[in-house]
């Protein structure tokens, strides 16, 4: 399957030299503007749409014809209440607006509505041609020419759905029983399966080569000179067998509206899909129109969706995301994370939210600000990196422990609902949990009050928090911290790792037992079968933590423990098994944790034999990750290896990422152009083709990008996922 964001993006990406770096150049960024019409389902279900020369949008609905003036966000009825009834079609001929309604044909000209006599019954379709305006309906076909209405004696079915002029005085007419070509000298009827996918035709349009696209049940039949040339079905990218409409835009791209979104075909055969609430008020696209700027206006079953575009470069996109990050995704005391939307999809209804992974996400944010400072020298980035570091440090301080840290903290007067509130377990519930997972840890008091009474802190921090923290400390120490801050970082990292050494390489909770996931001890990893799934991953993690502590402090106790685990406990051999991980144990989440650690190994290890091991491990890891098209993975690999690879795919995803961060639900199971599979993650239902960023749920790099269903529209995700690889690319000078 070939996807395309826009012709300009493709030309920009593939015409630039990617051997060394990508020079940031303006591209066309698409975005969605929704225009619900009303709460009346008859008004929202739009049958026809047209944009006039003044960019007024006209729509025909079950409740009548409405218009929205340029700059307005609301649609208003065109007809007085006494004439209200179903509208079926809108069209424009020069400066005149034509309307097909339940009472016949009306025009709107010079601010006035006028009935056009001569037809009978409802008019379901209008067609503008050189010879005049055709009006078509179940009771006949008429041509309006020079203020006269002439009935045409065309022999067609009465179930007329669309019509297009052939440019030679004739019409192509779509119906429920086939396709007609009508002229004054006679009609040709096409319905056989050697010419059409099916006889149900709903939309017609010519492409830039003069071929007729007939869209209907089963897909699109493409005819050249009235003869079948090719078909477009799910195998060629049609997401649904129920196809409603087709139109050509100003660039010559063909837009095909279906019941599962709109798919665009370029003259080169590549295509791209827009579906889900991120792009459409409803996936059922009934009709398509374009304004003078080339923006698409889509009539759906729940209102009008405009897919617009504006020029921006990656730098401007970074500014856009950074502005949202500062406004809605940094909360007291300086925590980066998601925000909750009290009204689904409405960012104006946002409120702060706590998350299990506040520490890891803030670690990502700390990396991003450190890279931003290193790339630009902007002191604002250094100040904010310091704030993020001290939040992570505060996670340890608030517990009162000797290196134990919290998942998250909130002010004691937090006014919002907390995740994982405190609860009690009955003995029966404990037994049930232990049978389901023998290493399950019962935690009744997840949130505790700090000693100073100012904070609530959440316990049971996990190994992924450790990885996010440590990667953040590494980048801050290397790129942004001054000498005084480096001393603070050294002491903090030493405190954390000392806690692990003291407790046989587990993080001990306040109850004196290890947290559920923070387990790196050889007693568990090497000698308890229940920890076999985590052996390779956690061995890698612990070696990185010890190596970082030694690199920062120079204290041999960390190096000695590191070497002991390698020689006596075979932690390098454990780490080597990552590539052979049992598929039942593979989760996409682990890949992000692994990639955090490679810069630590490659920058901090000085022993040539061990460094060679890590280099080979990284190369093997990357050989299996290139298909992810993940800019975070790619740029981390480039940072750690010194190579400059995968730039084209990385920049392509950064460009294709939507501006909208609402975590809209994306359901690929409704699509017919993909297959459902169980790879690469057996636990998840996935699609067999990697969806581009534009049709995924809002990205978090710990999510499975092949997931068939994902997204929670009561959340707006933080834009660290985009800003971190962007600034890493900038720091590496791979993005100029």
Domains and CATH numbers, the chain: 27-312 (2.130.10.10), 330-422+448-661 (1.50.10)
Q: What is the DSSP string of 269-320?
A: S-EEEE-STTT-SSS-EEEEEE-TT--EEEEETTEEEEEEEEEE-HHHHHHH
- List, in order, residues 6 or more apart from 132 with CB less than 8 Å away: 143, 144, 145, 146
Q: What is the pLDDT of residue 2?
A: 44
Q: What is the 3-state secondary structure (H, E, C) of 388-432?
A: HHHHHHHHHHCCCCCCCCCCEEEECCCCCCCCCCCCCCCHHHHHH
| Secondary structure (3-state) at 729 | helix
Q: What is the pLDDT of residue 20?
A: 78
Q: What is the pLDDT of residue 8?
A: 38
Would the pLDDT of 11 be above 60? no
Distances (CA, A) of 443 to 257, 424, 460, 508, 509: 51, 8, 8, 13, 10
Compute how many other C-beta atoms are within 10 angstroms of the C-beta atom of residue 703: 19
Average pLDDT over residues 545-567: 98
Element (H, E) at 498: helix 483-502
pLDDT classification of 41: cutoffs 50, 70, 90: confident
pLDDT digits (tens, 9 = 90+) for 235-293: 999 999 999 999 999 999 999 999 999 999 999 999 999 999 999 999 999 999 999 99
Would the pLDDT of 16 be above 70? no
Between strands 715-716 and 339-341, the pairing is antiparallel
Q: What is the pLDDT of residue 19?
A: 61
pLDDT digits (tens, 9 = 90+) for 612-638: 999 999 999 999 999 999 999 999 999
Q: What is the pLDDT of residue 284?
A: 98
Would the pLDDT of 18 be above 60? no
Q: What is the pLDDT of residue 80?
A: 80
What are the phi and psi torsion angles at 294 (to 5°)?
90, 5
Residues in the chain: 736
pLDDT digits (tens, 9 = 90+) for 88-135: 999 999 989 999 999 999 999 999 999 999 999 999 999 999 999 999
Q: What is the pLDDT of residue 5?
A: 42
Would the pLDDT of 82 be above 80? no
Q: What is the pLDDT of residue 368?
A: 98
In the chain, what percentage of residues exceed pLDDT 70? 97
Is the CB of residue 171 less than 8 Å from the CB of residue 181? yes
Q: What is the pLDDT of residue 45?
A: 86
Is the CB of residue 294 less than 8 Å from the CB of residue 28? no
List the structure tokens of 69. 């003036």
Query: HSE (CB half, 13 Å, CA atoms) of 25?
Result: 14
pLDDT digits (tens, 9 = 90+) for 509-529: 989 999 999 999 999 999 999
Is the CB of residue 314 less than 8 Å from the CB of residue 735? yes
Distance from chain centroid for Cα 16 = 25
| Secondary structure (3-state) at 618 | helix
Is the CB of residue 457 less than 8 Å from the CB of residue 395? yes
Rounded CA gap, 60 and 87, in Å? 5
Would the pLDDT of 38 be above 90? no
Compute how many other C-beta atoms are within 10 angstroms of the C-beta atom of residue 644: 16
Would the pLDDT of 7 be above 90? no
Q: What is the pLDDT of residue 146?
A: 86
Would the pLDDT of 14 be above 70? no
Q: What is the pLDDT of residue 181?
A: 98
Is the CB of residue 633 less than 8 Å from the CB of residue 645? no
Rounded CA gap, 496 and 402, in Å? 8
pLDDT digits (tens, 9 = 90+) for 331-390: 999 999 999 999 999 999 999 999 999 999 999 999 999 999 999 999 999 999 999 999
Find the range with the poorest average confidence among 165-179, 426-440, 556-570.
Answer: 426-440
pTM equals 0.95
């Amino acid at each position: 399957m070939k996807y395309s964001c826009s012709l300009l993006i493709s030309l920009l990406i593939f015409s630039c030299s990617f051997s060394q770096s990508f020079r940031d150049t303006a591209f066309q960024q698409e975005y969605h503007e929704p225009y619900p019409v009303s709460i009346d389902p008859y008004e929202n279900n739009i049958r026809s749409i047209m944009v006039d020369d003044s960019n007024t949008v006209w729509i025909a609905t079950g409740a009548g014809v409405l218009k929205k003036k340029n700059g307005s966000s609301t649609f208003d009825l065109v007809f007085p209440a006494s004439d209200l009834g179903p509208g079926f079609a809108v069209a424009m001929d020069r400066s005149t607006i034509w309307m097909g309604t339940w009472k016949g044909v009306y025009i709107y000209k010079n601010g006035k509505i006028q009935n056009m006599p001569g037809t009978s019954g409802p008019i379901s379709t209008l067609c503008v041609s050189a010879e005049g305006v055709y009006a078509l309906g179940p009771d006949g076909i008429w041509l309006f020419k020079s203020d006269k209405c002439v009935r045409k004696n065309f022999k067609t079915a009465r179930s007329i759905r669309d019509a297009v002029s052939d440019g030679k005085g004739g019409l192509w007419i779509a119906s429920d029983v086939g396709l007609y070509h009508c002229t004054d000298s006679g009609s040709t009827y096409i319905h056989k399966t050697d010419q059409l996918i099916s006889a149900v035709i709903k939309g017609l349009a010519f492409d830039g080569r003069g071929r007729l696209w007939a869209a209907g049940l089963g897909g699109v039949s493409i005819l050249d000179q009235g003869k079948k040339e090719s078909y477009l079905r799910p195998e060629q990218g049609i997401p649904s067998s129920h196809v409603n409409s087709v139109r050509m835009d100003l660039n010559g791209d063909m837009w095909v509206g279906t019941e599962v979104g709109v798919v665009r075909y370029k003259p080169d055969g590549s295509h791209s899909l827009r579906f889900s609430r991120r792009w459409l008020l409803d996936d059922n696209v009934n009709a398509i129109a374009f304004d003078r700027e080339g923006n698409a206006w889509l009539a759906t079953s729940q209102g009008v969706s405009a897919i617009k575009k504006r020029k921006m470069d990656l730098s401007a996109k970074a500014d856009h995301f950074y502005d949202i990050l500062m406004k809605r995704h940094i909360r007291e005391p300086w925590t980066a994370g998601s925000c909750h939307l009290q009204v689904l999809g409405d960012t104006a209804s946002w409120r702060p939210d706590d998350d299990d992974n506040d520490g890891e996400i803030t670690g990502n944010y700390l990396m991003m600000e450190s890279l931003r400072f290193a790339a630009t020298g902007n002191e604002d980035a250094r100040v904010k990196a310091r704030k993020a570091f001290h939040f992570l440090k505060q996670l340890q301080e608030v517990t009162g422990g000797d290196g134990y840290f919290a998942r998250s903290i909130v002010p004691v007067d937090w006014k919002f609902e907390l995740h994982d509130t405190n609860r009690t377990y009955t003995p029966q519930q404990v037994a049930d949990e232990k049978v389901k997972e023998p290493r399950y840890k019962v935690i009744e008091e997840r949130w505790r009050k700090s000693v100073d009474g100012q904070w609530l802190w959440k316990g049971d921090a996990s190994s992924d928090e450790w990885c996010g923290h440590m990667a953040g400390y590494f980048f801050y120490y290397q790129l942004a911290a001054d000498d005084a801050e480096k001393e603070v970082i050294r002491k903090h990292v030493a405190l954390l790792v000392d806690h692990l050494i003291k407790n046989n390489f587990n993080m001990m909770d306040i109850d004196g037992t290890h947290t559920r996931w923070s387990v790196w001890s050889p007693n568990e990893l090497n000698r308890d079968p229940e920890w076999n799934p985590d052996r390779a991953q956690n061995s890698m993690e612990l070696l990185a933590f010890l190596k970082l502590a030694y690199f920062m402090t120079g204290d041999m106790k960390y190096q000695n423990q590191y070497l002991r685990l390698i020689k006596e406990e075979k932690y390098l051999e454990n780490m080597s098994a990552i590539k052979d991980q049992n598929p039942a144990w593979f989760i996409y989440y682990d890949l992000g944790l692994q990639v955090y650690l490679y810069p630590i190994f490659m920058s901090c290890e000085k022993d040539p034999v061990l460094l060679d091991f890590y280099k080979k491990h990284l190369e093997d890891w990357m050989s299996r990750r290139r298909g992810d098209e993940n800019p975070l993975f790619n740029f981390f690999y480039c940072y750690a290896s010194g190579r400059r690879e995968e730039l084209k795919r990385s920049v392509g995803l950064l460009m294709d990422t939507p501006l909208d961060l609402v975590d809209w639900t994306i359901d690929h199971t409704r699509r017919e152009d993909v297959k459902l599979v169980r790879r690469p993650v057996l636990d998840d239902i996935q699609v067999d083709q990697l969806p581009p960023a534009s049709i995924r749920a809002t990205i978090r790099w710990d999510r499975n990008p092949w997931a068939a269903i994902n997204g929670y529209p009561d959340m707006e995700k933080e834009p660290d996922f985009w800003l971190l690889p962007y600034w890493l690319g900038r720091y590496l000078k791979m993005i100029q």
